[in-house]
Amino acid sequence: MRLARIERLRSRIPRFRLVLEGAEPLVVSDEIIARFALSRGDEVSERQRTEIATAQAEFDARRIAVNFISYRPRSVREVARHLQRKGIAPDIAEQAAERLRSAGLINDDAFARMFIRDKLQRRSGGQMVLRQKLIEKGVARAVIDAVLKDLVTDDVQTDVATQLVRARIRRQAGSLKRLDPNMRRKKLFDFLMRKGFSSEIVKKALTATGIG
């Protein structure tokens, strides 16, 4: 098939439409035109057309991925999922995420540690909740286990749970005072359990606040 025209498109990022005789046009960047040394009148085989389309998809995937990780650290799985949501084919999305990992631009262990420290600072919950959040981010269970063991000790969890229950008591002081001691303890116990703390950590936190 012959490359009949190369049309510049109006877009924020330079884009060109390759008008091919007898085939659907391709939209590519100037980098791809330069890489394949494309010019009007060239003969383009079906194989070359496929290679051009794949190269453009890989180029777009890297550009989108680099922009995505520029705001904050991401997990490898987060990057791949984001690319797929942007219309990148699953295999190319996976390859792009893996290349960034190999280049050291994304690292699940570093991401998980940053994520956990942030959640602990925000008092988001106990170990079970934090574990589930990292699973949802696509972090490998072995990485999660190692990070939680290092950062989420019993003492850390007890401190977070104690802060949470004290804040709860301040916010609901009126309604809690109207409950008998056993009901008040149960209400606060259930609150901390829903936050992902073990029963042992919950008991320690309630004792620290004078409710246990």
What's the CATH number where 186 sits? 1.10.10
**Mean pLDDT over residues 128-147, rounded?**
96
Looking at the fold, whether 19 and 82 belong to one and the same domain comes out as: yes
8 A C-beta contact, residue 146 and residue 110: no
**Mean pLDDT over residues 151-162, rounded?**
96
Looking at the fold, whether 96 and 119 belong to one and the same domain comes out as: no
In this structure, what are the phi and psi dihedrals at residue 184, rounded to the nearest 5 degrees?
-65, -45
pLDDT at residue 212 tops 70:
no
Looking at the fold, whether 147 and 186 belong to one and the same domain comes out as: no
pLDDT at residue 174 tops 70:
yes
What does the pLDDT read at residue 145?
97
Looking at the fold, whether 8 and 96 belong to one and the same domain comes out as: yes
Looking at the fold, whether 138 and 159 belong to one and the same domain comes out as: no
In CATH, what number is assigned to the domain containing residue 49? 1.10.10.10
Q: What is the extent of the structural domain holding 21?
A: 3-102
The pTM of the full predicted model, rounded to 2 decimals, is: 0.82
Q: Which two tokens stand for residue 7?
A: 């049309």
Looking at the fold, whether 166 and 130 belong to one and the same domain comes out as: no
pLDDT in tens, 105-117: 999 999 999 999 9
